[in-house]
């Protein structure tokens, strides 16, 4: 993978300049939402798409930094801004290297509005690419929507089977479920504590926020307001027909039995603990859903320091 770092803006051909019928904004995203998949990213896109302070790309998940060489199916453009965006991303997708300047130019379509990229696959980006993004766009705000790892993974498996991305399997067989959790496309998205730690290494605290799927379920209006304030928008403005509690992604999931649920929880035991400790907020309640009490935390910590060896030394 090569990175292109043009020192000056490229000069577009005359035909392109003449066809631009809108005031171009800064060549940069105002924010990037890095996931998590199945944690409310579609809800967020719809909320921002309908808000009068935002211009959102006609493609929800740009996935430029993970699938930059694949041209996405283009929707019907709404206006000249969309036409400009879709032409830009088509050219960008034809390149076999990451072009930060070209990526930034995608957001010129926003004009005076706010805009950003909501791509859950950015959870999988390595340190090198994350560092390059933040160095090139130092003021970009980064959002991560966190969800209980057990529930998130099960929702992804259900979606994968429903869309034909994962072969149907016996959801009552615990070991078969675990084998599917080890699928690289599922596994790489399943450890939010590691994702957040990676991005926090490069993003300044004031530009990074974690929000919770739990809050989307309990109080979507409050969650919407909190995100809008962080992005520099007015939460009081009406989103039209798209209400805060509008969630069109409530799809049917595979049946999750108590036996399998317990096995999946064991698979994510350390991750549940890490999220509770590092995220706080609703994540503190995640372990208790699966019977992992405060005593379990103490025992686990003592395990880490090899309690038995320590007691033997005392004897």
User: pLDDT tens for residues 93-137?
Assistant: 888 889 999 999 999 999 999 999 999 999 999 999 999 999 999
Q: How far apart are the C-alpha atoms of 94 and 92, rounded to whole Å?
A: 5
More confident site: 156 or 1: 156
Average pLDDT value for residue range 191-198: 98
Q: What is the mean pLDDT of the chain?
A: 86
Residue written as token pair 């730690």: 197
Mode of pairing for the β-strands spanning 116-118 and 3-4: unpaired
Q: How far apart are the C-alpha atoms of 270 and 274, rounded to whole Å?
A: 6
| Whole-Å CA distances, 95 to 64, 92, 108 | 11, 6, 19
265: its two tokens:
């929880």
Q: How far apart are the C-alpha atoms of 302 and 310, rounded to whole Å?
A: 10
Give the DSSP letter of residue 99: E
Look at 92-106, 218-232, 274-288 and tell me which has the smallest mean pLDDT: 92-106
Q: In which element (H, E) is residue 143 found? A: strand 141-146
Q: Which residues contact residue 162 at a Cβ distance below 8 angstroms, ignoring those fewer than 6 apart?
A: 251, 252
SS3 string, 198-222, reads: HHHCCCCHHHEEEEEHHHHHHCHHH
pTM here is 0.85
- Output the CA torsion sign for 76, 80, 85, 86: positive
More confident site: 74 or 64: 64
Confidence at residue 252, expressed as pLDDT on a 0 to 100 scale: 67
Within its chain, how far is the Cα of 183 from the centroid?
Answer: 19
Confidence at residue 244, expressed as pLDDT on a 0 to 100 scale: 87
Assess if CATH 3.40.50.300 describes domain 3-146+204-248.
Answer: yes
| Whole-Å CA distances, 84 to 16, 81, 88, 120 | 9, 5, 6, 24
| β-pair partners for 144 | 210
On the question of pLDDT at 15 being above 50, the answer is no
The confidence band for 303, taking pLDDT boundaries of 50, 70 and 90, is low
Residue 133's nearest CA partner among 34, 42, 216, 18 is 34
The confidence band for 311, taking pLDDT boundaries of 50, 70 and 90, is very low
């Amino acid at each position: 993978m090569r990175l292109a770092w043009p020192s000056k803006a490229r000069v577009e051909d005359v035909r392109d300049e003449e066809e631009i019928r809108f005031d171009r904004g800064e060549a940069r995203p105002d924010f990037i939402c890095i996931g998590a998949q199945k944690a409310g990213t579609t809800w967020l896109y719809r909320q921002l798409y309908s808000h009068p302070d935002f211009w959102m790309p006609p493609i929800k998940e740009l996935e430029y930094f993970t699938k930059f060489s694949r041209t996405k199916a283009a929707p019907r453009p709404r206006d000249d801004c969309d036409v400009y965006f879709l032409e830009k991303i088509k050219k960008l997708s034809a390149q076999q290297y990451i072009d930060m300047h070209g990526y930034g130019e995608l957001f010129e379509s926003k004009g005076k509005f706010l805009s950003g990229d909501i791509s859950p696959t950015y959870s999988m980006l390595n340190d090198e690419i994350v560092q390059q993004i933040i160095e090139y766009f130092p003021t970009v705000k980064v959002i991560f929507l966190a969800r209980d790892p057990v529930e998130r993974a099960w929702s992804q498996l259900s979606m994968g089977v429903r869309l034909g991305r994962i072969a149907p399997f016996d959801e009552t067989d615990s070991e078969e479920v675990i084998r599917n959790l080890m699928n690289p496309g599922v596994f790489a998205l399943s450890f939010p504590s590691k994702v957040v730690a990676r991005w926090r290494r490069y993003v300044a605290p004031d530009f990074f926020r974690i929000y919770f799927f739990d809050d989307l379920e309990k109080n979507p209006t409050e969650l919407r307001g909190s995100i809008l304030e962080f992005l520099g928008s007015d939460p009081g403005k009406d989103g039209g027909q798209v209400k805060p509690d509008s969630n069109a992604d409530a799809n049917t999931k595979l049946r999750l039995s108590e036996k399998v649920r317990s096995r999946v929880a064991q698979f994510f035991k350390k991750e549940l603990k890490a999220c509770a400790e590092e995220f706080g907020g609703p994540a503190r309640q995640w372990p208790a859903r699966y019977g992992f009490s405060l005593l379990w935390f103490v025992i686990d910590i003592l395990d880490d320091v090899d309690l038995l060896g320590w007691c033997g030394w005392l004897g």
